[in-house]
Amino acid sequence: MEKDLKTVLHAWHVEGGANMASFASYDMPLWYPSGARNEHLAVLTGAGLFDTTHMSILTVRGKMARLLLQYCFSKDLDTCLGPNRGPLLPGRCVYGVFLDTHGHVIDDSIVYQVTEDLYMAVVNAGMGGTIAAHLESHKKGPDPVISDLTDRIGKMDIQGPSSARILKKIIKDPDVVLQKMAYFSFKGWFAGNEPGVFRVELLDGTPVLVSRTGYTGEFGFELYVDISQTIRLWEMILAAGRAFNLIPCGLAARDSLRTGAVLPLSHQDIGHWPFVNNPWLFALAWDQTGQRFSKDFIGADALSRCKNQDYTLPFAGYDPRKINAGENSFVTDTNGIRIGTILTCTTDMSIGRAGQNVVSIATPETSGKPKDFAAKGLCCGFVKVTKPIAAGEEVILTDGKRKINVEIREDIRPDRTARWAIAKML
């Protein structure tokens, strides 16, 4: 067996007492001594810091960069911005997927427009080479130039309602940088002078890219620096965050947070099957009618012709009990008829039931959170089933021995902060 890769923060994680595990060929922290539960809760009540340096980062540079991405990426870069369907602009980024000709997902990604001719695509750990090769194979000439910068950039995510107040302590001119910073916008660059890019610096002058994104469903930022600055930035944030109850968080909390926020894990919830009938179709290039695609892109034909495909649906249970997603596990309807498989099954520790409703520790009492609410956590995740099932109906998860009833839902963890106006968070 090949040895797992390590991020530059690996030694820090081990010294910090993290429980480590293999994820996408990297030896990564699952949780630190504070435990996955506290880490998950910190991202709702204070802030959490995640090492995401294992993720792959590509740049696509040249006059043909946009055209190439328009053909390879599922989102229409010319109409993806806001309700008025504006084009992607420098300083804005967008979530989508790279599909193959069968409409299957190669990987999901956030594509950043940096300047007129420079784009950055952040894909999952270990996927940089695959996506770079995919883009290369669809180029019509030498332009654009595709570079895999994965090993040259340190990336970490600061997530939670205190994130902006912590970030303010470590960057220059924070008011200018953060003012009116919209969800899915970014400023700065991780290296020296990139012509035409607004420069954002840490207090000591280190260039940094600050992106108002993340994968927890909560308010926060993803930060990119030169790889040599990674540990320093990590420790800087931990020090500045101490007064705001920031703690380092591992992959277990990241998994439960993203599941509660109904975000897919690539190669688990989306993958080698057509990207249809799932909660993430907003990642496709729809025209104004929402019925047809607004551009030609790889996989579009296959998706348009898809018939009789499975349905991927979010669910939540009634207590923390789970069924491990695995080969021996399956989904039945309430009559016991087998109808599909479990893709993700985890516990969102910040939610519970108030009667039939799901409430979170962040739900205001005026919105139905009981006064004495103590979150015990609910099992939640995604199932892939052979027929459509309406939200509110139940299915049964089983490993052949144990059975638990869960409710199909449109959403899982209510009252998330990811889209809150930044003015409120400073």
Partner 1 sequence: MKEINELNLPEGLHYTKDHEWVRVDGDTAIVGISDYAQDQLGDIVYVEMPEVGNEFSQGEEFGTLESVKAVSETYLPLSGEIVEVNEALADAPELVNKDPYENWLVRIKPADLSELSALLSVDEYLDLLNG
Residues near partner 1 (CB under 8 A) are 17-20, 30-31, 35-38, 40, 252-253, 255-256, 319-324, 346-347, 349, 376-377, 399, 402
* Residue placing its CB nearer to partner 1 in the complex, 37 or 232: 37
HSE value, Cβ hemisphere, 13 Å, CA-based, for 110: 18
Residues 6+ apart with CB under 8 A from 220: 43, 47, 157, 158, 159, 160, 163, 212, 214, 418
Strands 246-249 and 47-51: parallel
Which of 107/255 has CB closer to partner 1? 255
Ramachandran bin of 13, using left for φ above 0, alpha for ψ from -120 to 50, beta for the remaining angles: alpha
At 14 the three-state DSSP class reads: helix
| Residues in a beta bridge with 57 | 122
- CB count within 10 Å of CB 55 equals 24
Structure tokens that stand for 235 in this block? 């420790």
Closer CB to partner 1, 23 or 184, in the complex = 23
Q: 314 or 377, CB closer to partner 1?
A: 377
H/E stretch holding 397: strand 394-398
SS percent in the chain: helix, strand, coil, step 5: 20, 30, 45
> DSSP label at 366?
G
Q: How far is the CB of 318 from partner 1 (least distance, A)?
A: 12
Cβ distance to partner 1 smaller for residue 23 or 112: 23
Q: Taking the complex as a whole, how short is the minimal distance between the CB of residue 168 and partner 1, in angstroms?
A: 31
What's the closest the beta carbon of residue 76 comes to partner 1, in angstroms?
Answer: 37
Cβ proximity to partner 1: between 155 and 258 the closer is 258
Kindly state the helix (H) or strand (E) to which residue 97 belongs, with its residue range: strand 92-99
CB of 35 to partner 1, least distance (A): 5
Tell me if residue 284 falls in helix, strand or coil. coil
Of the two residues 179 and 324, which places its CB atom closer to partner 1 in the complex?
324
* Relative orientation angle of helices 230-241 and 163-170, to the nearest 10 degrees: 120
Return the number of the residue (38 or 417) whose C-beta is nearest partner 1: 38
Shortest distance, CB of residue 192 to partner 1, whole angstroms? 39
- Measured from the CB of residue 148, what is the shortest distance to partner 1 in angstroms? 31
DSSP β-ladder status, 153-159 and 220-226: antiparallel
Helices (H), 228-268: 230-241, 251-260
Residue 40 Cβ, how far from partner 1 at the closest point, in Å? 7
Shortest spacing between CB 165 and partner 1, in angstroms: 27
Residue 373: CB minimum distance to partner 1, A: 15
The sign of the CA dihedral 233, 161, 168, 188 is positive
Q: How far is CA 96 from CA 14, 28, 93, in A?
A: 34, 25, 10
56, amino acid identity: S
DSSP 425: G
CB of 327 to partner 1, least distance (A): 15
Which of 40/165 has CB closer to partner 1?
40
Q: Which is nearer to partner 1, 163 or 346 (CB)?
A: 346
